[in-house]
């Protein structure tokens, strides 16, 4: 996918397990897999996804588009234009909103007074689902159902996944300045989706602590190895940047 990122360099940098998995895949680059890059400008991807979905519909393909955005993205004009456009054109698109309560330092209460995002979908005549975003299986099931509905009925769907951003928005953000540390800690520990899913997998006897620590150690070794290789590589010249 990256013209300057040669196959040779890729083999030197990426961990062997990743390359093995990648070889097995039929589709390995973003454009072949029909994954579009995200933009720095929030919500611009929404009308684009509607356009992509509408073109799938015109080509009579049994497929739909899905686009992801945060609660902050719903305060942009593009969100409203996209929802209305999708509703009237009956485009098979899934709008997946991660409502994590914060748009950098702005809480949702300062962004909108509606009952979350799900009601805004309904206001545009779009069927909308709210789901516990920290429950992996619930999210899987919601997306699976939404995809079936979008494809068979040729209509848009909105999913609002309720969650929390446990980390800072970015490396230049310090979220302890605008929200309580114990709130973050609660979500990091008691509500963590990965631990919840792991508990479920372990409860079914498909995974155990020994396998977990073995996997963690192996991945750690692979990453450390990849970092060492990357650090030894010559730096790009100014002309290449």
Q: Where on the chain is the footprint of ligand TPP (CB under 6 A)?
A: 40-42, 70-73, 76, 100, 102-104, 165, 169
Catalytic residue among 80, 127, 147, 169: 169
Complex with ligand TPP: residue 76 or 90, whichever CB lies closer: 76
Tokens of 158: 């909105």
The residue with tokens 């068979």 is 152
SS3 86: helix
Whole-number minimum distance, CB 226 to ligand TPP, in Å? 27
Nearest CB to ligand TPP, comparing residues 78 and 135: 78
| Nearer of residues 73 and 133 to ligand TPP, judged by Cβ | 73
| Shortest distance, position 178 Cβ to ligand TPP, whole Å | 11
How far apart are the C-alpha atoms of 126 and 106, rounded to whole Å?
A: 26
By C-beta, is 45 or 100 nearer to ligand TPP?
100
Residue 178 is among the residues annotated as catalytic for this protein? yes
Query: Tokens standing for 99?
Result: 């409502």
Catalytic residue among 98, 120, 155, 165: 165
169 noted as active-site residue = yes
Which residue in the list 140, 144, 178, 186 is annotated as catalytic? 178
The residue (of 57 and 165) whose beta carbon lies closer to ligand TPP is 165
- Shortest CB 39 distance to ligand TPP, Å: 8
- Measuring CA to CA, which residue among 76, 66, 89 is closest to residue 161? 66
CB of 179 to ligand TPP, least distance (A): 12
Residue 174 CB, nearest approach to ligand TPP (Å) = 13
How far is C-alpha 222 from the chain's CA centre? 25
Our answer to whether residue 186 is catalytic in this structure is no
CA angle 99, 129, 169 (to 5 degrees): 10
**How many Å apart are CA 118 and CA 26, to the nearest integer?**
36
DSSP string over 19-63: HHHHHH-S--STTTTT-PPP-SSTTTHHHHHHHHHHHHHHTT-S-
Active site residues: 165, 169, 178
């Amino acid at each position: 996918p990256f013209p300057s990122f040669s196959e040779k360099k890729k083999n030197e940098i990426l961990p062997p397990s990743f390359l093995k998995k990648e070889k097995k895949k039929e589709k390995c680059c973003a454009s072949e897999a029909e994954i579009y890059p995200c933009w720095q400008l929030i919500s611009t991807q929404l009308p684009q996804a509607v356009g992509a979905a509408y073109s799938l519909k015109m080509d009579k393909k049994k497929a739909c588009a899905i686009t992801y955005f945060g609660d902050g993205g719903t305060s942009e004009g593009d969100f409203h234009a996209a929802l209305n456009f999708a509703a009237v054109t009956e485009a098979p698109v899934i709008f997946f909103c991660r409502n994590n309560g914060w748009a950098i330092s702005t809480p949702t209460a300062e962004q909108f007074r509606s009952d979350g995002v799900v009601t805004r979908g309904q206001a545009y005549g779009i069927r909308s689902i709210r789901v516990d975003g920290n429950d992996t299986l619930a999210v899987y099931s919601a997306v699976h159902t939404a995809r079936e509905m979008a494809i068979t009925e040729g209509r848009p769907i909105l999913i609002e996944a309720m969650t929390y951003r446990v980390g800072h928005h970015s490396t230049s953000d310090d979220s302890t300045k605008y929200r309580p540390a114990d709130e973050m800690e609660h979500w990091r520990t008691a509500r963590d989706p990965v631990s919840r899913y792991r508990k479920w997998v372990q409860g079914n006897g498909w995974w155990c602590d020994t396998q977990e620590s073995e996997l963690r150690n192996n991945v750690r070794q692979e990453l450390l190895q990849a970092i060492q290789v990357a650090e030894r590589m010559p730096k790009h010249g100014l002309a290449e940047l």
